[in-house]
Amino acid sequence: MTAFNHRFDPTSLREYDIRGIVGQTLHPEDAFAIGRCFGSMVSRAGGTKVAVGYDGRLSSPELEAQLVAGLRACGLQVAKIGCGPTPMLYFASYALKADGAIMVTGSHNPPDYNGFKMMLGGKPFYGAQIQEIGRMAAEGDVVPTAVGSDESVDVSERYVARMMQDWDGGDRALKVVWDPGNGSGAEIVKLLTAQLPGTHYIINGSIDGTFPAHHPDPTVAKNLEQIIAEVAKQGADLGIAFDGDADRIGVVDGEGHILFGDQLLVVLARDVLKAKPGGVIIADVKASQVLFDEIAKAGGTPLMWKTGHSLIKSKMAETGSPLAGEMSGHIFFADKWYGFDDAPYSAVRLLGIIARSQDTLGQMRAGLPQVINTPELRFDCPDTRKFGVIAEVKQRLAAEGAKVQDVDGVRVLTEDGWWLLRASNTQAVLVARAEASSEAGLDRLKADIARQLQASGLPVPDFSGENAGH
């Protein structure tokens, strides 16, 4: 038996996944080591089968091959679902009754990045578990080498058929523009639109790991310019965009306005709450106060929780929540679905709501209380310092008697509205956001953030031009 040990670049072991720059901080040897260590965890828990998928990045096939080799070396059966979106891999883990699942994906990062998202026993795999992979690799703490097997399994038609079971929009024909952004959701969009009623236009519909049209991140307004133009050209009812691995959704209405993650969640929550009155609807701390108020108004129980898709999924399971969402466009349905973030499925549910409604999506958006807020503001702060800054800010606010929600960083309520400051779990940055009912109020909130940063010895960022109606 060959002795095994391996060291990862420490920057690659993140809070929610393993991710790095291919050829610099992430290598094929890392993929093998992940397979060997994760596979050992599955094997020791009595599992025998792991599902594996990969996205459309140029580096993904080689990383997938090494990952599969590592899993096989643990004596496991590997179900290879091929290239597709991350939620299809999550679906496969349930449909194939797998004991674990690993997706090779760089998500919405630049083309030279790649990484691995994992599930173990049907639950998100994150935090201390990812650090444990690093420890096991360094110490060679793996099961003895064995001979496993692998087989290719195409679940794409089963995945689409299962989504279509929940189509509840009747035969009303909508006009929809789709932009999978040359990401790994492109083929699923083709299969899905062939079964949905209506007229569908697909742009950037081939999988291309160089992302020639635009970066596949629908939370950035610039990346939605092309779909907004196409919606106008086709006179479409709405446009739907995905990120690189289709676990995040971006939506624009027929008038070309972007619906942010929290606005989209209002539309979805009102519908879910008709069938699940009193249901707990979860959103992250960056979401608008409008969302929490509208959930309560619709008879739901709003719950503000920490940012991070793994953290939200765990909280949903704990509270029995039927629906959750993040500003970043991760939408999680446990109502009729499996509780994981799934952009194609969220699209099916959204289209059903619009098809059954007398109102257009634009009218739904315009009917929400109008507030002014900043986009997500990010500024550099060393990893070694970022959590300390938040602790200092919290201490000062307590001394001032401020009204603070501290579920994730600090969210401060004032007469003008609210402002948020939190440390990113995945990058060396602090994240801020503010929301008010007037421009003057928003300026006061931004001044509050600036004062707190200054008091902790950080440079004050330029907030000018950072207001957006929402």
Catalytic positions, please? Answer: 107
Name the burial class of residue 240, with classes exposed (0-12), middle (13-18) and buried (19+) by CB atoms within 10 angstroms of its CB.
buried
User: Angle CA(55)–CA(57)–CA(58) in degrees, nearest 5?
Assistant: 135
Distance CA(285)–CA(324), nearest Å, equals: 12
Tokens (6 digits) for 71: 């899993």
Would you list the DSSP string of 417-432? EEEEEEE-SSSSEEEE
Distance CA(217)–CA(392), nearest Å, equals: 33
R_g over Cα of the chain? 22
Q: Do residues 47 and 99 touch, judged by C-beta distance below 8 A?
A: yes
Distance CA(57)–CA(409), nearest Å, equals: 34
Distance CA(340)–CA(144), nearest Å, equals: 33
Q: Coil, helix or strand for 96?
A: coil
Number of C-beta neighbours around residue 426 at 10 A: 12
